[in-house]
Amino acid sequence: MNSGPNRHEKGEAVADAASSPFYTRDATRMDIAAIAAIYGFHVAQGAGTFEEVAPSPDEMRRRFDNVRARGLPWRVAEIDGAVIGYCYASPYNARSAYKFTVQSSVYVDLRWQHRGIGIALLQDVIRACKALGYHQIIAAIGDSRNEGALRLHTVAGYRTIGQALRVGVKLGRWMDIVYMQRALSDPNVPPPAGDPIGFCAAEDQTGP
């Protein structure tokens, strides 16, 4: 799926704050090893995810295939052919009443943070989700001290809607989750009669 034309498409350089050009594009299965390495670092060293064991490339490939099978966007940023960050949208909840809401996740290689890469990726995914007919996008930010992630999502138009206190333990301390949300359409417009493009109802919607 192409998320639509934008100035980050491969073939047109984007100048970041440190003057190194980067591109954003749709991810492919060829990017899985790089994606797994980026995420693996955040699992081991960061608070942005509460996962504690880095998933294998095979597991990341399964997650990637699941997202793409639904038609949802998964974007990567690259410099000189090297993947340095990624962002994707996934279903917010398996129950069908949540079908117009997605959840975003964004991770950037530590060496390339604070250079405009995260916001470029996030904006790509926001545009794609709008085009697919989704109406809300949620982010669950690991650790209320994660100022970089909170600032990134604020710049992208998210607002804080709540906080779950001390629900996680990682890196030897209690951690919070900060929930942020961004509207993708006019909230005063009634829900469409149909489904968003690519929506797949889960077979199991029972939940806990």
Tens of pLDDT, residues 52-99 = 999 999 999 999 999 999 999 999 999 999 999 999 999 999 899 999
The CATH architecture that domain 14-183 belongs to is 3-Layer(aba) Sandwich (3.40)
What CA–CA distance (Å, rounded) separates 150 from 141? 7
Least confident range of 5-19, 123-137, 166-180: 5-19
Output the CA torsion sign for 169, 116, 157, 107.
negative
Count the neighbouring beta carbons within 10 Å of the beta carbon of residue 109. Answer: 19
pLDDT digits (tens, 9 = 90+) for 102-158: 999 999 998 888 889 999 999 999 999 999 999 999 999 999 999 999 999 999 999
Residue entry with tokens 């279903």: 91
Q: CA torsion sign, 145 to 149 to 154 to 159?
A: negative
pTM for this prediction: 0.87
